[in-house]
Chains A and B, each alone.
Chain A
């Protein structure tokens, strides 16, 4: 079956490339853009036992001196030996249950989490779609647009050029002059998506939560993602909404408890996943 799925995804590749034969640089069709080689990710989680952590400085001192027993710390082995090759023109959906390591894998591809073992090789700098963490809710929409764009690495000229477009796409109107803490959750989500999608990417990583806002905005953001997909060389999409995956992707990786359970064309993998 591996052979079959390989064949199928190859075909899908070629179709995708024909459809998207757009402004790409010299990369030959099907050239690898992301190679993940036996990747293991372990990260540390500090437990929510904040009462024990705070206040008692004597305890903190003793723990440093003894160099032992930090009771609140847990190591999470989130990705356990994942290998695959993503090629130019691929749109890869990553599915799996909560906690199967999807988001972690995405962050490792983006170069944001260091591998415990194995490695990730990429062509250029893959970027996650999302700036939420850089924004400050006490600030106005205007300031947040500028801050978010800079956080994504845009230049002042690019920010000026894109500013109106971001405001317009988000559709929040004069609310852009109010602090983001006064926004409804839908408005906040729209502005965040508008900022995040203002930049073009070579390898684009999209982590869920796209379907935000009202129906109108959902349609608008879907269109924007389609467009970004065309401009990007390779797209990774993490989503629970399988319809979105089926629509957008030409290949699906099924992660289960940190390992690849299945990798192939959407129809086959999604059928197995739903079974």
Chain B
């Protein structure tokens, strides 16, 4: 499609800019204003944008579901993979960290402890990875149809949420099988998931804009996310690991968003987890503090991510 610059001269002769000769002294922008025309690509105000996004909720939901369905549609086992994938993941991590590396001394129920961490972390990880590709990988869609672009990162996060819902079912079975009791605390699990989903939506929006304009981000992201994985206490207990270290370092690790959601989930899901913490007497953030951190991160990520994404709304088609 590239054109030599010399081509500019070619068309000078042609009768271009018919509009300006037609309207005489009146400029085109003034004419547009007189007839109440608006710029084709003006960015809507934030409330209008939110309303447009709400109007497209059916598209967001259908798009997310469709992507999930089409993901496994060419395999023989089909949609069964939605359950098999988290199960196999759990198995691999258990083999690696539970059996080979033997990380068990501080934690009574290491299997459930580990798999909870892996599932909760991978929800955030996959939302971020998906979000980063949601704009850059859908340029043809963006250049063909008009809709609030935030619908795409949002759909990617909802797609991951649908997968997580299945994973949580698998997780609940594993937790019960490993001998944990079913407690009233489980009723709070949806609240944690809601806060984490809000956080993930925000992060997905943030990365969507970065990924749209800095293409190299998609190459770099796996490394960042793996580093984050190792610092988020997925495989180990942060209070146990940080025993004897300064308190601020421990709190810093505990304040890290994935750790917050993982820790909250372990507190609710595993009756043995808080007991272990008390038994060994490691200092740790209380449940109340964890809830506070979670709410903080959800609010900051959503507001920040949404605002940041919206600011570039009209530029996403450019690539």
Chain B, residue nearest A132 (CB): B144
Q: Which residues of A contact B144 (CB under 8 A)?
A: 112, 128, 130-134
Q: Which residues of B contact A36 (CB under 8 A)?
A: 19, 28
Select one of B14, B219, B317 contacting A261, CB under 8 A: B14
Q: Assess the B2–A257 pair: CB atoms within 8 A.
A: no
- Stretch of B35-43, B180-188, B269-277 with 4 or more beta carbons under 8 angstroms from chain A: B35-43
Q: Assess the B16–A83 pair: CB atoms within 8 A.
A: yes
Select one of A37, A111, A156, A256 contacting B29, CB under 8 A: A37
Given A37-B29, A147-B62, check contact A46 B35 (CB 8 Å). Answer: no
Q: Which residues of B contact A70 (CB under 8 A)?
A: 215-216
CA distance A126 to B317 in the complex (A): 16
Q: Which residues of A contact B8 (CB under 8 A)?
A: 80, 257, 259
Q: Assess the B35–A31 pair: CB atoms within 8 A.
A: yes
Given A35-B31, A64-B220, A138-B74, check contact A6 B22 (CB 8 Å). Answer: yes
Q: Assess the B55–A153 pair: CB atoms within 8 A.
A: yes
Q: Assess the A151–B18 pair: CB atoms within 8 A.
A: no
CA distance A109 to B22 in the complex (A): 20
Interface residues of B in 76-117 (CB under 8 A from A): none
Instruction: Tell me the count of chain B residues lying within 8 A, CB to CB, of chain A.
Output: 63
Q: Assess the A35–B141 pair: CB atoms within 8 A.
A: no
Interface residues of B in 148-185 (CB under 8 A from A): none
CA distance A64 to B219 in the complex (A): 11
B318 interfacial contact with A, CB 8 Å = yes
A82 interfacial contact with B, CB 8 Å = yes
A220 interfacial contact with B, CB 8 Å = no
Chain A, residue nearest B18 (CB): A263
A120 interfacial contact with B, CB 8 Å = yes
The minimal Cβ–Cβ distance linking B40 to chain A, given in whole angstroms, is 4
Q: Assess the A134–B21 pair: CB atoms within 8 A.
A: no
CA distance A262 to B14 in the complex (A): 6
Interface residues of A in 153-188 (CB under 8 A from B): 153, 155-156, 179
Query: Beta-carbon contacts of B11-54 to A below 8 Å, as 1s and 0s?
Result: 10011111111110001110110011111110000000000000
A242 interfacial contact with B, CB 8 Å = no
Q: Assess the A147–B69 pair: CB atoms within 8 A.
A: no
Q: Assess the B216–A63 pair: CB atoms within 8 A.
A: yes
CA distance A181 to B64 in the complex (A): 19
CA distance A126 to B39 in the complex (A): 11
Q: Assess the A32–B37 pair: CB atoms within 8 A.
A: yes
Q: Assess the B59–A2 pair: CB atoms within 8 A.
A: no
B248 interfacial contact with A, CB 8 Å = no
Q: Which residues of B contact A55 (CB under 8 A)?
A: 219
Q: Which residues of A contact B140 (CB under 8 A)?
A: 132-133
CA distance A230 to B222 in the complex (A): 52
Chain A, residue nearest B151 (CB): A151
B214 interfacial contact with A, CB 8 Å = yes
Chain B, residue nearest A35 (CB): B32
Q: Assess the A263–B145 pair: CB atoms within 8 A.
A: no
Interface CB pairs A-B, < 8 A, 9: A54-B219, A60-B219, A85-B18, A121-B38, A123-B36, A138-B74, A258-B7, A259-B14, A261-B10
Q: A1-B15, A2-B15, A57-B223 are in contact. List 15 more A-B contacts (CB 8 A).
A: A2-B18, A32-B37, A37-B27, A57-B220, A85-B23, A107-B143, A112-B142, A133-B141, A133-B145, A134-B145, A146-B62, A256-B11, A256-B14, A259-B14, A260-B14
- Measured CB to CB, the residues of B under 8 A from A are 1-3, 7-8, 10-11, 14-23, 27-29, 31-32, 35-41, 55-56, 58-59, 62-63, 66-67, 69-70, 73-74, 138, 140-147, 214-217, 219-220, 222-223, 314-315, 317-319
6 closest A-B pairs by CB: A121-B32, A111-B40, A257-B7, A121-B37, A259-B11, A138-B70
